[in-house]
């Protein structure tokens, strides 16, 4: 797939990451130029907000108990991208997080480790050193996170910094200004360029759905990101409210499912921001299960971007096994 316009500066010298399979002709056609892309995105079926929210609310009433709940908790733990994205982050803080990621519950070694640790680019080397050989990914936000308001050169350099320091996953933000003003080609090119700069690192594309405002936009942005080669579509930076919501995640799950039906390639979804409790996490897993399908119940295709969620999962896990609540002092605070 070629970038829509030329002159992608720094990104150009990178070798493109191999795509798993060529796009079917109709989708390849959609990315031919700016106008075909616009026509494709605006030709997607609309999303009816009332119906979507009703469906999301109905699925949220599923009652997950006993073995099903325990399975969900362990699965959710294994899907957490344990995140710290503060101005005050230090190597010490990242080391603490990495320790937690490796062994979330020291009293119960059978608890799975999390999927990845997610940090700013300058702290990637610390995380990489802490997590070497554990199989836990190191994700780095990039591209002038969280606003995305910078030039492409800076965004590429930001990405390269993370990748060179050893990040295995890159969480980029899209240019919401360009998207909202209808410059889809620019957003597309940027994703393609960053994808090249990733040099094989897993690419998650943050749509910042709280700024896209409508579900129609969320659907279009999801397809745009998938067409440009995103491995994952991610809801939010966590810096904008509203962050992840169930209805928005439904739209994105539906997009990856439709993508799979048309291309045969599964892509992932990552809701991030605002998911704090086990109950929330299970509602998301039910949506994954029933909207996208059982195949997506895997850290390869679904992640939670969260920090405090992990502790609640651990507390609920203990409660499930012991039959009583322990309390926040029995899990490690980071």
The residue among 170 and 288 lying less far from other proteins, judged by its C-beta, is: 288
Catalytic residue, candidates 100, 155, 204, 234: 234
Catalytic residue among 100, 155, 204, 270: 270
Minimum Å distance from CB 73 to other proteins? 12
Provide the binding-site residues for other proteins, judged by CB under 8 A: 45-48, 50-52, 54-55, 58, 61-69, 71-72, 75, 254, 285, 289-290, 294-298
Residue 51: count other Cβ atoms within 10 Å of its Cβ: 10
Three-class secondary structure of residue 138 per DSSP: strand
Specify the residue, 238 or 247, whose C-beta has the smaller distance to other proteins: 247
Three-point CA angle 269, 219, 28, nearest 5° = 90
Separation CA 65–CA 67 (nearest Å)? 6
d(CA 146, CA 241): 12
Judged by beta carbon, residue 122 or residue 258, the one nearer other proteins is 258
The answer to whether 231 is a known catalytic residue is no
Q: Which lies closer to other proteins via its Cβ, residue 196 or residue 289?
A: 289
Catalytic residue among 81, 125, 171, 280: 171
Among residues 203, 199, 175, 184, the alpha carbon closest in space to that of 5 is found at: 184
> To the nearest whole angstrom, how small is the minimum distance from the Cβ of residue 127 to other proteins?
27
Least Å from the CB of residue 173 to other proteins: 26
Distance from chain centroid for Cα 59: 22
Please state the closest distance from residue 66 (CB atom) to other proteins, in A. Answer: 4
**Least distance (Å) from other proteins to the CB of residue 80?**
17
Which residue, 50 or 88, is less far from other proteins as judged by CB? 50
270 part of the active site:
yes
Q: Mark whether 300 is an active-site residue.
A: no
- What b/e sequence results for 198-228 when a residue is b if at least 16 CB atoms lie within 10 Å of its CB, and e otherwise? beebbbbbbbbbbbbeebbbbbbbbbbbbbb
Instruction: Taking each helix axis as running N to C, give the angle between helix 184-198 and helix 215-227, from 0 to 180 degrees, rounded to the nearest 10.
Output: 50
Which residues are catalytically annotated? 171, 234, 270
């Amino acid at each position: 797939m070629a970038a829509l316009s030329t002159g992608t500066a720094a990104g150009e010298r990178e070798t493109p990451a191999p795509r798993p399979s060529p796009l079917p002709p109709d989708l390849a056609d959609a990315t031919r130029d700016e106008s075909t892309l616009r026509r494709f995105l605006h030709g997607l079926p609309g999303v009816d907000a009332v119906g979507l929210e009703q469906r999301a609310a109905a699925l949220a009433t599923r009652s997950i108990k006993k073995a099903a709940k325990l399975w969900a908790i362990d699965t959710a733990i294994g899907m957490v991208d344990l995140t710290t994205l503060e101005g005050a982050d230090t190597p010490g803080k990242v080391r603490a997080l990495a320790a937690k990621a490796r062994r979330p519950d020291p009293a119960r070694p059978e608890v799975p480790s999390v999927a990845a640790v997610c940090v700013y680019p300058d702290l990637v080397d610390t995380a990489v050193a802490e997590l070497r050989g554990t199989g836990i990914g190191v994700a780095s936000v990039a591209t002038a996170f969280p606003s995305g308001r910078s030039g492409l050169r800076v965004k590429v350099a930001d990405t390269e910094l993370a990748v060179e320091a050893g990040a295995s996953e890159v969480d980029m933000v899209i240019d919401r200004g360009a998207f909202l003003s209808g410059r889809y080609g620019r957003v597309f090119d940027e994703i393609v360029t960053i994808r090249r700069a990733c040099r094989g690192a897993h690419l998650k594309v943050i749509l910042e759905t709280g700024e896209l405002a409508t579900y129609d936009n969320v659907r279009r942005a999801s397809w745009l990101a998938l067409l440009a080669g995103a491995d994952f579509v991610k809801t939010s930076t966590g810096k904008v409210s509203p962050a992840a919501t169930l209805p928005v995640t439904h739209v994105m799950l539906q997009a990856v499912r439709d993508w799979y039906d048309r291309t045969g390639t599964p892509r992932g979804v990552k809701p991030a921001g605002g998911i704090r409790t086990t109950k929330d996490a299970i509602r998301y897993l039910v949506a994954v299960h029933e909207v996208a399908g059982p195949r997506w119940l895997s850290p390869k295709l679904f992640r939670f971007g969260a920090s405090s969620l992990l502790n609640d999962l651990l507390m609920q896990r203990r409660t499930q096994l012991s039959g009583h609540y322990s309390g926040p002092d029995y899990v490690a605070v980071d």
